[in-house]
Amino acid sequence: MRPLSQYFLDGGRLSAIESTGGSGLTICVPADGKLVGAAFNTHVLVDADLTFEIFVNDVTTAVDFIVPDETPDESGSLVAMQSAPAGTSPAVTVKAGDSLHVVGGQEQTAARAVDFTWILERENDVGVDEYYLGAPAFGNIETTSVSALLAVPFAGQLTGIALIPHTVIATAGGDDHTFDVLLDAVDTTMDAVLPEGQADETGLVMGLIGPQAFVTSGQGIGMSSNAQQVAGTDVDHTYILNRTGEANLASRDLREYALDGGIITFSTAGGLSSAVVVPESGQLVACAFHTNTLIGTVGNVPQEFRVNINTATHASDPLFQFLDASVAEDEGVVMVADQQVFVSAGDAIQLRSGGEQVAVSVATLTWIIRR
């Protein structure tokens, strides 16, 4: 088992690796430490050694991830870092607020994509209760925009938000830019503060002002912008949470880790969530699920889900389900697996809907995997 000081953030899908190289998601690092490696899953037979150059704050590190030639289609593996200059150390240190992304070297011939997950290790002993939820890109903060709501996997407390802006922060009145912290799309009256003058491509852990924000499993967490920024600006951010929080909020097994599962349109039979790559082998024990629509199914039957592993639907029948009308609009639930399903490092997993839901419905989800 990996040390509990190591954690995982979804790197997204690298599309068109044969032509553009793909750049995937930009992630915001939540804690000082170092990059350890990555888990890659390929969706085509690899026909050359594939290099993915690692960038910190948009600057190359001269360190690559390398996916070996002849890696099979729909298979995954843990990938170590290798330095471009011969004989140099591949260490990549990061600070809270740094951004990370990769760019492929376009060695692949056949057109296809890969998915990957970052593996990082925090430097400071913050305790094993701390965990992180990486968020999709949050655009147009110069307007009253709202970020995607992420499904909270473990009850506890929000303790910080790491964020990196891609434009210098300059407001009309010279004030700081603020975000309202949302739970289930409702303002918590807690604000996150992005200082006036914060440089572009320079991140930080934003200060939180107001009452403490306690979260429960299945809630949707997000932010809304208060639009003080003048220029058009996108940001990347990661939520920093603690599993303990109030004494009456139960924490799950500390061997369990959370992995962003993306978005699923589950009103469509066979609808699939985004693929995410498992960074450490273990048991798929639960899925935190936050929906924008009241659950209402044909014939009041349960809404069912299975899991795809490396594009193949697992034999579980079903793996997850919840009852008709049991989840309201802008609410969530943690679905516990009905059967034992084990996954290996490098597997690409997706949630697959049975399509019982009537209204067009979208949900965000977070996988819970026990090491």
Answer yes or no: is 250 within a domain: no
**115 vs 25 pLDDT, higher one:** 115
In CATH, what number is assigned to the domain containing residue 332?
2.60.120.260
**Among residues 208, 242, 276, which one ends one of the domains?**
242
pLDDT at residue 327, as a whole number: 73
pLDDT at residue 249, as a whole number: 45
* pLDDT tens per residue, range 195-214: 999 999 999 999 899 988 88
Residue 64 has pLDDT above 80, yes or no: yes
Together in a domain, 136 and 117: no
For CA atoms 139, 142, 148, 150, the dihedral sign is positive
Together in a domain, 91 and 111: yes
What DSSP letter does each residue of 77-111 carry, written as one string? EEE-EEESSTT----EEE-TT-EEEEEE-----S-
Domains in the chain, number: 3
pLDDT at residue 25, as a whole number: 78
pLDDT at residue 164, as a whole number: 94
Together in a domain, 118 and 134: no
Reported as a pLDDT band with limits 50, 70 and 90, residue 360 is confident
Residue 248: Cβ-neighbour burial (10 angstroms; 0-12, 13-18, 19+): exposed
Together in a domain, 110 and 158: no
**Token pair 């995937």 is at which residue?**
24
Which range of 8-17, 72-81, 100-109, 131-140 scores highest in mean pLDDT? It is 131-140
Measure the CA–CA gap between 368 and 336, rounded to whole angstroms. Answer: 9
**Token pair 């290996």 is at which residue?**
344
355-371 average pLDDT score: 87
Residue 119 has pLDDT above 90, yes or no: yes
74-101 average pLDDT score: 81
Together in a domain, 362 and 290: yes
pLDDT at residue 357, as a whole number: 83
Residue 273 has pLDDT above 50, yes or no: yes
* pLDDT tens per residue, range 214-262: 898 889 999 999 999 999 999 999 999 988 744 444 556 778 999 999 8
266-287 average pLDDT score: 91
Answer yes or no: is 206 within a domain: yes
User: How many CA atoms within 13 Å lie on the side-chain side of 252?
Assistant: 21
Structural domain of 108: 6-122
Question: Of 148, 195, 193, whose CA–CA distance to 25 is shortest?
Answer: 148
Which of 60-69, 141-150, 172-181 is predicted least confidently?
A: 60-69
pLDDT at residue 12, as a whole number: 86
Which range of 73-87, 145-159, 322-336 scores highest in mean pLDDT? It is 145-159
Together in a domain, 117 and 138: no
pLDDT at residue 100, as a whole number: 93
State whether residue 298 is helix, strand or coil: helix
In degrees and rounded to multiples of 5, residue 309 shows phi and psi of -120, 115
Together in a domain, 260 and 358: yes
**346 vs 291 pLDDT, higher one:** 346
Answer yes or no: is 247 within a domain: no
Together in a domain, 262 and 212: no
pLDDT at residue 222, as a whole number: 95
Together in a domain, 154 and 116: no
Question: Of 138, 129, 182, 196, whose CA–CA distance to 163 is shortest?
Answer: 138
Percent of the chain predicted with pLDDT > 90: 47
Residue 87 has pLDDT above 60, yes or no: no
Measure the CA–CA gap between 35 and 43, rounded to whole angstroms. Answer: 24
